[in-house]
A and B are shown apart, each in its own frame.
Chain A
Amino acid sequence: MDPIEEIASPEVVPHRLRVDAAHMHYRELNARLREAVADGVSYIELHNIYGQRYLGTDLHRMVEIHIYGTPGNDLASFMDGPRIVVHGNAQDGCANTMNGGAVIVHGRAGDATGHSMRGGQVFIRDDVGYRVAIHMKEYQDQRPVVVIGGTAQHFLGEYMAGGVLVVLGLTLRPGERHTANFIGTGMHGGVMYIRGELDPSQLGKEVGQVPLEESDHRLLTALVDEFAAHFHASAHAILSEPFTKLVPLSLRPYGRLYAY
């Protein structure tokens, strides 16, 4: 049987699609997705996802994709336009080099979430692994955003070159602090907002803490509102705690590394 079947008859809802991806290789699955999007499908449900990689890659149109299960590494890599909602956890490399669109994860995500991201938005409800937003970058009106509901592990924002990274710490118990070290090592662009306090020893050599300005509060309010809407949280409660703002001390931290 063809694993792709219309949820309803084509006459009634022609743009909805449901895929049972059990035992399906990612190449076949991504080929089906490209085909479906080219045919004008605008809403897709993927069921029985167990580690299929690169889901949503190479899709360049607005389409909503709901994933049930555990998508594999490099979810939404190079994606440009779709909105992916994961009902489960994401693995490593989520939104790798993503150019546009959104990824919303109702769970946790692994290492290198937002790796080299260049546009679009990522919202993770719970914790993330190491090196989140490593080498995220921005150019003109392309400004990627990563919002983490929980806490992050070491090398957060490593070599970050642009974009906005927000960590809300909602999974920390009262009195518990973020434990990430080497935050912003090599950072040379973009901005990080971390809810809660950090010890200076947790920061990489290339970042500094600066006070939040009015424009920062406006940006944070908009992003937290969106986070709260995705995950039914209280934006007011989240925003009532102070944030730490981190920016790079230099736009070329290694400019003199090899110069004598």
Chain B
Amino acid sequence: MLTPLSDENPYGQDKVYDACGLIGIMDTTGQRFSGHDIVKGIVNMTERGNGLGSGFAVYGCYPEYADCYALHVMYTEPTSQAQVEGFLRQHFVLIHREEVPHNPTPGLRNPPLIWRYFVHAGGNDAGTRDEPEYVVARVMEVNTAGWGAYIYGSGKDVGVFKGVGFPEEIAGYFGIPEYRGYLWTAHNRFPTNTPGWWGGAHPFALLDWTVVHNGEISSYGTNRRYLEMRGYHCTMYTDTEVMAYAADLLMRRHRLPIEIAAKVLAPPLWTEIDRMSPQRQTLYRTLRQVYSMLLINGPFTVILARQGEMIGLTDRIRLRPLTAASNGNRLYLASEEAAIRLVSPYLERVWTPVGGEPVIGRLGMSLQPPELAVPEQASRQMTQALAFTSAV
């Protein structure tokens, strides 16, 4: 049916409104595999997006520069390239630079110039702080400079490829199947509250953290202010960005294990805390008090990743979908089981993760029960945290 609004909607009226699609695949032995599977999986969930964003993250894809920070830079103002490169030469040791290879892809509109720089932390002011802190500060400096340039990937041996388009288009544009890695995540975007632009596509990344997200972070304003006070500046016009910075703050800077960090982002309800043992109550109340501004409120599913680790997490009452599965050494996380089945028709285990409980894949870990998806009660880190709490 045509309505007066028809002309204003470039995607026509024949649209089933939906949500984002996510998929992650990890080989826990570290064996690298091509991007063919992740593309197949995310393309199978094309229905979940609307062509306003898609992207991929891959770990272990730059073995020749594995010890370099791989700075991926998006130039929305191509004229800023000389300025940015001057900045990078001043603050880093530049090992290699190249334009990110891409293929002509009909249908993609105004792709920005995208380059990658393989660098060591160094330069005039290096050595004044620890290295990751130094890199984070430089990334924030470029992104907030107003140059029309964004460092949207900054991990060692981590590739991030994203843009405005359907998954098939973005995969084709960057030639995703030609990359190889041991851990892949992918996203298909259906923007709800924020604009669809190249920088706003997922994954969001900082150092080796990447995050793909389905949902809405209602607490964005609170989370953002908390993170800004700690040196993280949101520049991508999208709520998901805070999740990448929160992960970096909690797990790198504050050195919390993911089992604890998950309880900051998606804490148990107070009624659930009330029923816990006194010792456990102390831990959870402390977490909620110390990190109340990092509680991620609203419906979400995220796949977080860093070198050696892939984590699936939903909000505490599971208002967005996530299916987990395993077969042999491969751990799969996706919005829909069918996307996993298309990649791996036979699966040893398929399950619906509990809201607020992280599903964790680690290099070297067995995917056979009971080690996989250990309930928090049994996890070593949680036991240590409880011991710490009772000590204070």
Pick out which of these stretches binds chain B: A1-9, A68-76, A136-144.
A68-76
Q: Which of B272, B338, B354 contacts A70 (CB 8 A)?
A: B338
Q: Which of A50, A73, A179, A201 contacts B341 (CB 8 A)?
A: A50
A51 is an interface residue with CB less than 8 A from chain B = yes
A118 is an interface residue with CB less than 8 A from chain B = no
How far, in whole Å, are A121 and B47 apart by their CA atoms in the complex?
A: 28
Size bracket, chain A contacts: 20 to 34
B27 is an interface residue with CB less than 8 A from chain A = no
The contact string, 1 if C-beta is below 8 Å from chain A, for chain B 353-364, is: 011000000000
B44 is an interface residue with CB less than 8 A from chain A = yes
A30 is an interface residue with CB less than 8 A from chain B = no
Verify A153–B352 contact, CB threshold 8 A: yes
User: A184 — which chain B residues lie within 8 A by C-beta?
Assistant: none
Q: Which of B44, B317, B337 contacts A155 (CB 8 A)?
A: B317
Verify B318–A111 contact, CB threshold 8 A: yes
B342 is an interface residue with CB less than 8 A from chain A = yes
How far, in whole Å, are A36 and B142 apart by their CA atoms in the complex?
A: 60
Verify A153–B354 contact, CB threshold 8 A: yes
Verify A108–B336 contact, CB threshold 8 A: no
What's the dominant secondary structure at chain A's contact region?
Answer: loop
Min CB–CB distance B375 → chain A (angstroms): 10
Verify B337–A91 contact, CB threshold 8 A: yes
Verify A73–B350 contact, CB threshold 8 A: no
Verify B342–A130 contact, CB threshold 8 A: no
User: B355 — which chain A residues lie within 8 A by C-beta?
Assistant: 130, 154
B266 is an interface residue with CB less than 8 A from chain A = no
The contact string, 1 if C-beta is below 8 Å from chain B, for chain A 116-130, is: 000000000001111
A53 is an interface residue with CB less than 8 A from chain B = yes
How far, in whole Å, are A130 and B320 apart by their CA atoms in the complex?
A: 10
How far, in whole Å, are A80 and B47 apart by their CA atoms in the complex?
A: 25
**Provided the pairs A51-B338, A72-B336, A73-B336 are in contact, do residues A130 and B318 lie with their beta carbons within 8 angstroms?**
yes
B22 is an interface residue with CB less than 8 A from chain A = no
How far, in whole Å, are A223 and B77 apart by their CA atoms in the complex?
A: 66
**Provided the pairs A89-B350, A130-B318 are in contact, do residues A201 and B336 lie with their beta carbons within 8 angstroms?**
no
Verify A111–B321 contact, CB threshold 8 A: yes
User: A51 — which chain B residues lie within 8 A by C-beta?
Assistant: 44-45, 47, 336-339, 342
B323 is an interface residue with CB less than 8 A from chain A = yes
Verify A110–B318 contact, CB threshold 8 A: no
Most chain B beta carbons < 10 A, residue from A50, A88, A179, A181: A50
A206 is an interface residue with CB less than 8 A from chain B = no
User: B254 — which chain A residues lie within 8 A by C-beta?
Assistant: none
Most chain A beta carbons < 10 A, residue from B47, B317, B350, B352: B352
Min CB–CB distance A258 → chain B (angstroms): 23
**Provided the pairs A73-B336, A111-B318, A155-B317 are in contact, do residues A50 and B342 lie with their beta carbons within 8 angstroms?**
yes
B275 is an interface residue with CB less than 8 A from chain A = yes
Please give the number of chain B residues whose Cβ is less than 8 angstroms from any Cβ of chain A in the complex: 20
User: A110 — which chain B residues lie within 8 A by C-beta?
Assistant: 321, 323, 337, 352
How far, in whole Å, are A95 and B87 apart by their CA atoms in the complex?
A: 58
Verify A127–B44 contact, CB threshold 8 A: no
The contact string, 1 if C-beta is below 8 Å from chain B, for chain A 165-206, is: 000000000000001010000000000000000000100000
How far, in whole Å, are A71 and B338 apart by their CA atoms in the complex?
A: 7
User: B317 — which chain A residues lie within 8 A by C-beta?
Assistant: 130, 154-155
- Nearest-CB residue, chain A, relative to B347: A89
- Nearest-CB residue, chain B, relative to A26: B47
How far, in whole Å, are A128 and B318 apart by their CA atoms in the complex?
A: 14
- Nearest-CB residue, chain A, relative to B343: A50
User: B352 — which chain A residues lie within 8 A by C-beta?
Assistant: 108, 110-111, 127-130, 153
- Nearest-CB residue, chain B, relative to A51: B338
Min CB–CB distance B214 → chain A (angstroms): 12
How far, in whole Å, are A110 and B337 apart by their CA atoms in the complex?
A: 9
Verify B321–A72 contact, CB threshold 8 A: no
Min CB–CB distance B247 → chain A (angstroms): 25
Min CB–CB distance B210 → chain A (angstroms): 24
How far, in whole Å, are A92 and B214 apart by their CA atoms in the complex?
A: 15
User: B45 — which chain A residues lie within 8 A by C-beta?
Assistant: 51
**Provided the pairs A50-B44, A51-B45 are in contact, do residues A91 and B318 lie with their beta carbons within 8 angstroms?**
no
- Nearest-CB residue, chain B, relative to A25: B47
The contact string, 1 if C-beta is below 8 Å from chain B, for chain A 96-134, is: 000000000000101100000000000000011110000
**Provided the pairs A111-B321, A129-B352, A153-B354 are in contact, do residues A91 and B272 lie with their beta carbons within 8 angstroms?**
no
Which chain A residues in 71-94 approach chain B with CB under 8 Å? Answer: 71-73, 88-89, 91-92
> Could you name 13 residue pairs across A and B whose Cβ atoms are closer than 8 Å?
A26-B47, A50-B44, A50-B341, A51-B47, A51-B338, A69-B338, A91-B337, A92-B321, A108-B350, A108-B352, A153-B318, A153-B354, A154-B354
- Give 9 closest A-B pairs by Cβ, nearest first: A51-B338, A129-B352, A70-B338, A50-B338, A50-B342, A70-B341, A130-B318, A70-B337, A51-B336
Q: Which residues of A contact B (CB under 8 A)?
A: 26, 49-51, 53, 69-73, 88-89, 91-92, 108, 110-111, 127-130, 153-155, 179, 181, 201
